[in-house]
Structure 1
Amino acid sequence: MTNLSFAAQKIKQKQKIELNKSVFDFALVYVLEGSILSKENKLKFSKGNLLFLNKTFETLETKKDAIVFVLYFSGSYFKDLHFIQQNFRLSFSPVDIFNSETFLNRSLSLKKENKKLTEQVFELIHQYDREDATTSIFIFHQIMSLFALVENIVKDLGLPIHASYEMSQEIEQYIQQNIYFPDKLQIKSIADQFQISANYFGAFFKKRYAVSYKTYIDAIRIKLIEDRLASNSYSMKQIVEELGFSDESHLTNFYKKKRNATPSSYKRAKNSA
């Protein structure tokens, strides 16, 4: 299973699952029959449990009567095929789910109706006996349907999934570096930059900052306009060119919509203060 970003396995006898010794970063494990044990953590996972593992998890051992499905992923798997993720309207990426404290190396016990659907999807993936499994859109759709199901369960249970703080910092840096280039700040452009779907980015941003991405960017641009108007060092033409507006009318209309006043009235008020 080396040099792969994804692999599937069905265990029908006593074996070990040692993600920390594999080339993969994450594993999604479903217990179809019997149980599996973690001797180090003294944990037992029974039939119908769905586990979310990363490299920090110790070795799992299946019992003789166990039938277990395992899907292995590297982080790059979800980045390589991120453009399809937008079809599933996920609020969180699978990587966020694997790393969330809610699920990190823990299990989710499924209800009867969810068990049946989960088992069908895992069986479909396991039966896909072709060399292109790593890049298969069909397989990716099956996997993403599993994570869509997980999100629905999470919402029903009211469980939190915390977004990546590291990615928040990277996004903030990107915005600061490109605030003068509107094309680079379009949601599609920034989603491509971070190799995530546009829908996921929008949901991630709103959860992280409590405002929409557009509202956040507009507020920064308004502040930049007002700073330059107040300084008396910039002409309207210079502000238009610096901030990437098409012309002075474009800037004026943008400002009026946000402030219910014109740039010139703001400048007069500042100069008379």
Structure 2
Amino acid sequence: MKRYVLHSPFSIYHFEAETWTHSVHKHTYFEIIFILKGNGVHHINGNAFQYAEGDVFLLGPEDFHHFDIQEPTEFSFVRFNESIQKQLPGDKERPWQPVIRNLLNTSSQSRGSIVTDKQEKQKLHHLLAVLETESANDQSQYFEIIRDSLMRSMLIILARNLFSQTPGKPVTKDSIEAILMYIRQHIYRPEELTIEHLAETFHYAPAYISLFFKRQTGESLKQYIIKHRIKLIEARLLYSQLTLSEIADEFSYTDESHLCKQFRKYTGATPTAFRMRM
């Protein structure tokens, strides 16, 4: 089964369709799917759910799905991974963080649309409208702050609605979703992302975990980690005033030179040239 990969922490995909052109697939990321108009059937994990204007779905990396569109449908897919809610080392945990963590660690798609209350749907769709407007100016120095606040509000509203229902199934320790989540949570500590350490953490042989990851994602474990790190560094270069030395330190590179060498290998440009060009 095809698995779509997202290396950046966040993206929005807004489109209209009369027929669904994507095959059944999984992801390396989470996505909130908004139905802005239209109706049809959303097939998720082998179950079929009628969808209509206003519905909101939350999918995790291990959820597989496709749509049967019965009436031309306008979608907005908000794609993200855990790094968008990063907690800096030493920061005190905020009350909302365990709520969002529990939401993302709970399989929700045996239920179809998470939100059934009309007012709750309207709140989420209003937040989406603001998020899409702000995303059009994503090079603003304020964009990340506003984006994260809006995403946090969306996720807490989804959690409030989901947890009023029957508890779902947690992420299993040995799933590819658990490995992807672990990588994103530890991307700033490369010593915890070696093949040997990951194999020990997930109780696999080092050779097997590499094969398992490649089979599940279509991408090698090492390449996924590097590309994910590079995308986060690109975001730092675009949306922060951090120096190269500070970025290198944040991502635990041995020095600025090592960062520049790897960044240029994967992007074709030096970090300085990338920042100036963008």
Give the TM-score normalised by the residue count of structure 2. 0.47
Higher helix fraction: Structure 1 or Structure 2? Answer: 1
Select the structure of larger CA radius of gyration.
1
